[in-house]
Amino acid sequence: MKIDAVLVSKVARLASLEISPEETEELAGQLTRIVEHFEELRKIPDEELPGAPDRPSTPLRLDRAVAGRDLSFAEGNAPEFAHEHFVVPRVVSRND
Amino acid sequence: MSAVDRLLDGPAADLARAVREREVTAVAVAEKALGRVRAAADRHGSYLWFAEDLALAQAAEVDRLVEHGENFPLAGVPLAVKDNIHVETLPSTAGSKILAGFVAAESATCVRRLVAAGAVVVGKTNCDEFGMGSSNESSAYRPVKNPWDPERVPGGSSGGSAAAVAARSAPLAIGTDTGGSVRQPASLCGLVGWKPTYGRVSRYGLIAFASSLDQAGAFARTVEDAALAFREMAGEDPRDSTSLRTPVPDVLGRMKKGVEGLRVGLLLEAEAEGGLAPDVRKSFEGTAELLRKAGATIVEVSVPRVPMAVPVYYLVATAEASSNLARFDGIRYGARRGDGDLASVYTGTRSAGFGPEVKRRILLGTFALSAGYQDAYYGRAERVRALLRRDFDAAFLKVDAILCPTSPETAFRFGAKTADPLQMYLADVFTVPASLAGLPALSVPSGLSSEGLPIGMQFIGPVDSEPVLFALARSVEEGAGVWTLKPPDAL
């Protein structure tokens, strides 16, 4: 399968990544080559494949409250922190 | 050469014994090791962050408790920790600029366990960004040089940990292994390196790359040291829901019993798929012969879907990575970029903070999970992964462990594979199958190439077969004797 610049741009948008036009072209070539190699998996006939992956289920833990962490850790690592909260950019603007 | 220098050049077990018997103090060892850590960082780029205050405090505590009769198995052993594993009060960046300035609030469970056993953290080691790479060339900070030949890579992604131990700055290091990131650098740097059965060592405190594959492992110069690290790191952890609740198998006890009667399968696909370098092939054959002479039964065994493992791995791992790395958005931690609305901060932060290989893998994983492609790529990969597991189950009805080279070649030169990501990915052909199946595996040095570069052999076993794997590795270690050799560019 060929991955073209349009598809790279679409996937980059989904992944919240900005890619320059030059990078987009280069990535399109690299990803096409990689995905073409991955077409190998199609050689296995469908009837040989299990209906669903047989991964073990993740064990669940008890729903029990535990003590939280000191907020100084969050504050020390946050780009912006005020009044015991992370400061986030405006999500909805006046015009929205 | 001082007694402490001699101990730092030798196995961790000997060093711990000397501290326990108060021949030397842990503080004296830490002081000397910290000097070596600085030197290794300068010479090979193997460390990103130093742990002077922490190391001296931990060492003083070990000395105090040893005086009170505490019998630490790793008393005073300097420990290097990969930068994607948290150590309280130290930076944790996973080799990425997006986490520049991040300081860990607490230590990973595997670190806490090793420190409780007497180990002393001396520094955080360089790695491929978020564990994504096989050569340590995708670290956002600097590449790491291989102490066996500084013009060559140490392997990756835990290349800094491997180079640190090979150079004699620390006798023990830990890393993470998602698709071979402990075993492959161990092989390229002449060390023992293991990944456990999935769930045997807690993942709590590891920066996630691909959660169904990530495991912590260790590097050491001897099999006994590597087994000691396993014993101390393994065990149930309520803070990791995937941590195994069954008893930890006894690796040190089994190791002493040798390999007589064990059935070892030579991986048939190794020859066809790997494009083995001639020296690696010769060492593969030599290792089989060595094990035969030690009393093991050698047969050939096939794991037919091994050729599919690289595609499966790079679809599953990148899909999981695209999800795990979504948390790096510039809101709660890391370097925020962009000053407009929320979406522009997300995009600005991620575009500036992630390096090219991480972006490539996020794009690949996002593609594999996107509408219209998910069933054909991610879904199919997971179903082939199930077949691979069944292949291993069938193989382990015939043999106790599978032997194959860890890497098809020895350490390669910087830049040899960077232009073609697919070539880099294909180098993982022998390490990703065990990761996909959740099986334990280890790499042990088996010889040197004609260029004087280390070659590693890998043993893969069924779930909880670590005792057998360490016993087999011990037999190879005794026969090959590589562990006694010092790399030409060591400290």
Residue B188 is which amino acid? L
So what's the pLDDT on residue B197?
Answer: 98
Is A6 in CB contact (< 8 Å) with chain B?
no
Q: What residues form DSSP beta bridges with B165?
A: none
So what's the pLDDT on residue A61?
Answer: 76
Q: Counting every residue, how long is chain A?
A: 96
Which of A77, A81, A93 should we substitute to test contact with B (largest number of B Cβ atoms within 10 Å)?
Answer: A77
Residues 44-83 of B with CB under 8 A from A: none
Residue B485: exposed, middle, or buried by beta-carbon count in 10 A (0-12, 13-18, 19+)?
Answer: middle
Q: What does DSSP assign to residue A64? A: -
Measure A26 CA to nearest chain B CA, in Å: 10
Point out the residues of chain A with pLDDT beneath 50. none
Neighbouring residues of B280: CB distance < 8 A, sequence distance ≥ 6: B274, B405, B407, B408, B409, B410, B449, B455
Q: What does DSSP assign to residue A1? A: -
Point out the residues of chain B with pLDDT beneath 70. 273-274
Q: Which residues of A touch B419 (CB under 8 A)?
A: none
So what's the pLDDT on residue A53?
Answer: 72
So what's the pLDDT on residue A96?
Answer: 53
CATH fold, domain A5-48, is Histone, subunit A (1.10.20)
Q: What is the pLDDT of residues B100-159, one digit of tens each?
A: 999 999 999 999 999 999 999 999 999 999 999 999 999 999 999 999 999 999 999 999
| Residue B258 Cα distances to B5, B330, B425, B475, angstroms | 32, 53, 35, 7
So what's the pLDDT on residue B162?
Answer: 98
Q: Determine the residue of chain B that is closest to A31 in CA distance.
A: B364
Residues of B acting as catalytic residues? 82, 157, 181
Ordered by start, the domain boundaries in chain A are 5-48
CATH fold, domain B3-309+382-484, is Amidase signature (AS) enzymes (3.90.1300)
Is B235 in CB contact (< 8 Å) with chain A?
no
Measure B248 CA to nearest chain A CA, in Å: 19
Ordered by start, the domain boundaries in chain B are 3-309+382-484, 325-380
So what's the pLDDT on residue B274?
Answer: 59
Instruction: Count CB neighbours of B300 within 10 A.
Output: 12
Residue B411 is which amino acid? A
**How many residue contacts between A and B have a Cβ separation below 8 Å?**
137
ipTM for the whole complex? 0.93
